[in-house]
Amino acid sequence: MVSLRESRAFKFWQRYEHHLGVGALAVGFTFDVFLAKSPASIVDNTLLVSYLFIAATIIILLNIAPVRRRRERGVSEPFIFLLMLQFCFGGLASNLLVLYGKSGTLAADAFFVALLAMLVFGNEYLRSRYAQLRFNIGVYYFLLLTYCIIAVPTFIFHAVGPGVFLLSGLISLAVMVVFLTILFAAVLRGAPKQAHQIVMMVAIIFVVFNGLYFLQVIPPVPLSLKSIGIYHSVLRYSSGDYLALYEPPPWYEFWQDTSPAFTYAPGESAYCFSSVYAPAQLDTPIYHRWEYYDPAAKSWETISRISYPITGGRPAGYRGFSVITLTNPGAWRCDVETESGALIGRTTFTAVPGMVGSLASTTL
């Protein structure tokens, strides 16, 4: 009978371990980049829950006594488990990266999205640590918590805000209590020091996440901005659509819906029209915060904060607008935010006094 060390599969793993690890991570990442659609997608959530369950099972299997004894004798862990774990972690991280990247603005989300990106690509650089239990559990809880922050508001409370965020974190802790109870019974029996270190690590991740949320670093998932623009007028049809007049952006700013320069006559108003996606059954107020940049004070000053309710479920987002009379030329912006002030999106424009030329029209 051929031993594990002499098997062709084991020799293949030893020779191409680096490439196989990269391949498993890349396949998991790519697979979910194309599948990730929305926080309410049944396919997305089924896949994410499956990844979490499989990853938890593999972490336990990689650390049960028979595997540890093989490791002590110099025999590698079952490499299929390592490949599956990398695939699950890569799939989870990429799916969550896509979903979180759809919320908030680039500036507000850069740090948090960077954390997820570092996890995706850092998996390979830290690949040799996958056999270390604490690292596995740290990555696992990080991904579990980010998932709960999306899933709990979407499927349980149908609302967003600090209270729902805290409850989402508590639910993630409840799941970890069940997982760690099984893990400690199967793996860490008689190792209280290591168990204490794992519990402290989970607690630190929980506290840091809450700190990032209240510092408004974490985007307000599951809400996401679908479109935003500044218009000269917005009229609602009886059908529910909107007719808007606007100054087209220059051809080289193709990503803009409207021009970054807003030409206005004295006393003219500017309209901010936005579309915010929310999952079905999630009803929450949305706020437009109008701000003017004061060159003397070198700071943004809030001129008005206007709210309107949204109802989730529309794939293109729930539409709404606010209007303000421009009082000064210069830099203006309209922030789209939650009731607690978490930033969903933003548009900035420069008010320029003058005669308005021809305007384009569009149906929103």
Q: What is the pLDDT of residues 96-111, one digit of tens each?
A: 777 776 666 655 556 6
pLDDT of residue 169 exceeding 60: yes
CB 226 within 8 A of CB 317: yes
Average pLDDT over residues 61-83: 61
The answer to whether the CB of 272 falls within 8 A of the CB of 347 is yes
Is pLDDT of 21 > 80?
A: no
Q: Which CATH class is domain 224-363?
A: mainly beta
User: Cβ atoms within 10 A of the Cβ of 340, count?
Assistant: 15
In the predicted structure, residue 254 carries a pLDDT above the cut 90: no
The domain ranges of the chain are 8-214, 224-363
Q: Hey, what are 136's tokens?
A: 């596995």
Residue 16 has pLDDT above 70, yes or no: no
Calpha distance 36→101 (Å, rounded):
11
Report for 5-9, 72-76, 284-288: range of highest mean pLDDT: 284-288
| Residues in Cβ contact with 208 at an 8 Å cutoff, skipping those fewer than 6 apart | none
* Most confident region among 149-158, 287-296, 302-311 by mean pLDDT: 287-296
Higher-pLDDT residue of 218 and 154 is 154
- Which residue type is seen at 323? V
What share of the chain has pLDDT > 90, as a percent?
A: 35
pLDDT (tens digit per residue) in 197-236: 889 999 999 999 899 888 887 878 888 888 899 999 999 8
* 80 band by pLDDT with thresholds 50, 70 and 90: confident
Cα–Cα distance for residue pair 41/37, rounded to 1 Å: 7
Q: Residue 66: is the preceding peptide bond cis (ω within 30°)?
A: no
| Residue 75: pLDDT band with limits 50, 70, 90 | very low
Q: At what angle do helices 79-101 and 8-35 cross, to 10 degrees?
A: 10
pLDDT value, residue 125? 57
Spell out the residues 6+ positions from residue 264 whose beta carbon is closer than 8 angstroms to its own: 270, 326, 351, 352, 353, 354, 356
Return the SS3 of 353: strand
Output helix, strand, coil percentages for the chain, rounded to the nearest 5: 50, 25, 30
Axis crossing angle, helix 8-35 with helix 106-125, rounded to the nearest 10: 170
pLDDT tens, position by position, 333-358: 999 999 988 888 899 999 999 988 78
Confidence class for position 263, pLDDT limits 50, 70, 90: very high
**Among candidates 94, 96, 67, 93, which has minimal Cα distance to 81?**
67
- Residue 358 dihedral angles phi and psi, to the nearest 5°: -70, 140
Give the full edge-to-edge strand order of the sheet including 261-264. Answer: 261-264, 343-353, 330-337, 283-294, 299-311
Amino acid found at 9: A
Q: Mean pLDDT score of the chain, rounded to an integer?
A: 80
Rounded Cα distance between 224 and 39, Å, is: 10
One-character DSSP codes across 243-287:
EEEEPPPPTT-TT-SS-SEEEE-TT-EEEEEEEEE--TT-EEEEE
Give the pLDDT of residue 26: 58
| Contact criterion met (CB below 8 Å) for 216 and 108 | yes
The average pLDDT across 76-101 equals 74
Spell out the residues 6+ positions from residue 240 whose beta carbon is closer than 8 angstroms to its own. none
Q: How many residues in total does the chain contain?
A: 364
Region 7-22: mean pLDDT is 53
Close Cβ partners of 133 (under 8 Å, ≥ 6 residues apart): 59, 63, 187, 188, 194, 198
